[in-house]
Structure 1
Amino acid sequence: MTLFLFTSISQLLFFIFCEKEYTEPPTFLKKIEKKVVKIAKNRNIPSLELTIRTENGIVDFYYNHKAVKKQSTYGIGSTTKFLSAVAIFKLIEDKKLRINDKVSDYLTLTRPIPGFESLTIKNLLNHTSGLADYTKNPGWMENLMDDNVPKTFEEKVSLIDETLENRGSFSYSNTNYIFLQKIVEILTGQPYDAYFNRFYASNGLSAIKMGIDETGLQAFFGQTDRESLDVSNWREHYGFDGGAFTDSKALDRFLTKLYRDKSLLEPKTIEEMNEWIEMDLMTIPIGNGIISAYGNGIMRLSYGGEAFIGHFGSTLKYQSMVFFNTKKNISISMVTNCSGRYYNNVFFQELIPAILDDL
């Protein structure tokens, strides 16, 4: 890994705008675009894509630092859970799976976890299982930095503590979605990425994929505003819990098909996803707003008296947001190739508020 140093903003930063796919956006969307670009320049964001669609128009652009190669796809981290939940709810809609099915009806663990036999599919979808997060095991991070992070279901399960904590209450855990991944494989007879990719390709969203070759993609990890590590060669090997790659335009089409066109799921199925539980001590502040409720694979963000439904994603390489305001038919999709304490703060406390304040 090499050190990626940012020097003078005036010397190294510039932005590039994609061709607009639609007519010139209204003034308030252009204002958001200028604000986001200014923050990206001032805060040394490596690369960023943003697509915002409203009833009045669309703004769609990318920005990248001069020292960073332009790329056309980004890891979206835990936003994958939203996309995975939609694919899983299609199985529920088609009566191939029931939300209250027992997890133990599908999975048998090689080492016992007390209470596992009472867990349901719903407990996995809404993070109320109490299963420990395998990525919180110190060994996971150590292995990641040695390029030896667990890849298989069995290897990941081996990192899970053999206890259930906060059973029945919200406790965010990547383990829930690797269990869902395995259940989907058993139901469909396909590798998880094959089912996921075929589902989205069959719905005109082939740009949303799992299992891609990351060679040539850049990513940076910044703990301070002075420097960041080039972590392009890190391989995180997420699955249903965070392994999808795409761009902001494809995510915007996903939101359009799901919420505007209702072509991915039936309205009653979407409502089933919107069964909210309070996140209690695990709430996430976003500027003057807050994420305080979780559904079945989706988050609810309250901001300025408005409710936005979707998901955030943050790995050691990427950050993303995909949210929809059903009252005003506003979709927001943003992806970046940077993470770490510094970039996370810029993303959640500067970039996102700059967007939401003017919507």
Structure 2
Amino acid sequence: MTNPLDPAALNAALDNVHRAGMPGLFAEVRDGEQVWRGAAGVADTATGRPVTAHMRHRVGSITKTFTAAAVLQLVESGQIGLDTPVGRYLPELVPGGRGDAITVRMLINHTSGLAEYLPYAYPSLKAFPDLANTGPQSLDDHRFTRFDPIELIELGVTAPAVGSPGSTPGVYSNTNYLLLVQLLEQVTGTTAEECITRNVIERAGLRDTELPDGPYVDDPHSLLYEAWFGMIDPPRDYSVYDMSWVGPSASLISTVTDLNRFYASLLAGEIVSLSSLAQMQRTVPVVSQEGRVIDYGLGLYPMEGPGQGTFWGHGGTVWGGGALAMTRSDGKRQMAVAVNMQRWNRLDSSGKPQPHPIDDALAALYRVAMYG
């Protein structure tokens, strides 16, 4: 049987990202029954320990698809109304008129108008998401800080609104997903971690995926190098970090194999019903954390290829690490890529991130992985 993948091209594309300056990266690409896994570079720049394709990794906001799926399951069972005002469930957290106007759907697709709490939780990130204007000192200050999610939500809810409820383009905000975490806990009477683990992670049969309860990643894993636009030189390892600053909106640890397994199950209607999946794939324009307007659904967003159909998935970043997982609508072609450095673009005099060879090399890898 002919292999629909091109291992030589995939390995070359992976190596090009490493040669462009990424310390290490690894990936899994699937096409039907065919599977390719590859890795390039190092997991530890001091020892030269290589990355491998089975490493566990912080995958950031890919977590949001898991959280959204858990909420949609409760919508299916009638315990949550997708278009019910969030103030009906969490009146203390979103009080008054906004609690009446913001629906559960608006939280999931970032059209609530609620601001991002991060610049208030990390004071030196006062320009978030324009991190470029700030220094990285707060990362070290808060490496072991245990944040209270209720306090984080209050910071986002009391901050100046970034839009009126339901208006578009929406603005991507972790405040929305911390509220969804509280909604899950209110309705199920368990922690969101338990709910997502039981109803999503275990249902998808994921063996190496978890929502952590401490600052460490179990082995095997790579160190995570934060460059902070060249202000941390050489880049510093932040793989040990208390993830309570985002909780179950972006704290997931997984593998590229598990990510592909999860999105295949989701798009096959095995995690939520096909009608719920259709709701997840209804998109609206949303301003991303990078300032670009993207189409965003309910914890999912699409990527289009030339004549190759629509891919659905999510990307994510944490301090030092990142990942992107995309699956074609028919579930046949899949890609999951993990990288162990973030914010590699240096800044020009106006504070704008400058192009870097890693950008083009990663884009080329994604093209080969998704479209062949």
Q: TM-score if structure 1 supplies the norm length?
A: 0.81
Contact 1:131–1:173 (CA<8 Å) still a contact in 2?
yes
Residues of 2 paired with 1:124 and 1:349: CA distance? Answer: 33
Which digits, 9 at most, give the CA deviation of each residue in 1:330-358, with x for residues without a partner?
Answer: 11111223212339966654213323144
Residues of 1 paired with 2:64 and 2:330: CA distance? Answer: 23
Question: Which deviates further from its counterpart, 222-231 or 113-122?
Answer: 222-231
Q: Map 1:72-151; keep pairs closer than 5 Å.
A: 72-109=55-92, 115-137=98-120, 138-139=122-123, 141=125, 144-147=139-142, 149=145, 151=147
Q: Report whether the alignment pairs 1:186 with 2:186.
A: yes
Change (3 A) 1:88 1:264: same
Which digits, 9 at most, give the CA deviation of each residue in 1:303-347, with x for residues without a partner?
Answer: 435422111101222211111111572111112232123399666
Q: Map 1:265-280; keep pairs closer than 5 Å.
A: 265-279=272-286
Residue matched to 1:340: 343
Counterpart amino acid of 2:264?
Answer: T
Displacement of 1:129 = 0.3
Contact 1:291–1:300 (CA<8 Å) still a contact in 2?
no
Residues of 1 paired with 2:94 and 2:302: CA distance? Answer: 35
Contact 2:14–2:40 (CA<8 Å) still a contact in 1?
no
Residues of 1 paired with 2:23 and 2:327: CA distance? Answer: 26
Residues of 2 paired with 1:64 and 1:112: CA distance? Answer: 50
Could you tell me which runs of 5 or more consecutive residues in structure 2 were left unpaired when the two chains were aligned. 126-136, 347-352
Residues of 2 paired with 1:150 and 1:173: CA distance? Answer: 20
SS of the aligned residue for 1:48 comes to: strand
Q: Report whether the alignment pairs 1:228 with 2:212.
A: no
Which digits, 9 at most, give the CA deviation of each residue in 1:146-183, with x for residues without a partner?
Answer: 12545221221242243322222211000000000000
Which digits, 9 at most, give the CA deviation of each residue in 1:125-153, with x for residues without a partner?
Answer: 00000001011335275654312545221
Residue matched to 2:264: 256
Counterpart amino acid of 1:62?
Answer: A
Change (3 A) 1:340 1:236: farther
Residue matched to 1:354: 365
Counterpart amino acid of 1:263?
Answer: E
Contact 2:17–2:361 (CA<8 Å) still a contact in 1?
yes
Q: How many residues align?
A: 330
Residues of 2 paired with 1:266 and 1:254: CA distance? Answer: 14
Residue matched to 1:9: none
Q: Map 1:278-293; keep pairs closer than 5 Å.
A: 278-279=285-286, 282=288, 292-293=294-295
Could you tell me which runs of 5 or more consecutive residues in structure 1 were left unpaired when the two chains were aligned. 1-22
Counterpart amino acid of 1:163?
Answer: P
Residue matched to 1:28: 6
Alpha-carbon RMSD across the aligned residues, in angstroms, is 3.0
Q: Report whether the alignment pairs 1:37 with 2:48.
A: no
Q: TM-score if structure 2 supplies the norm length?
A: 0.79
Q: Report whether the alignment pairs 1:309 with 2:312.
A: yes
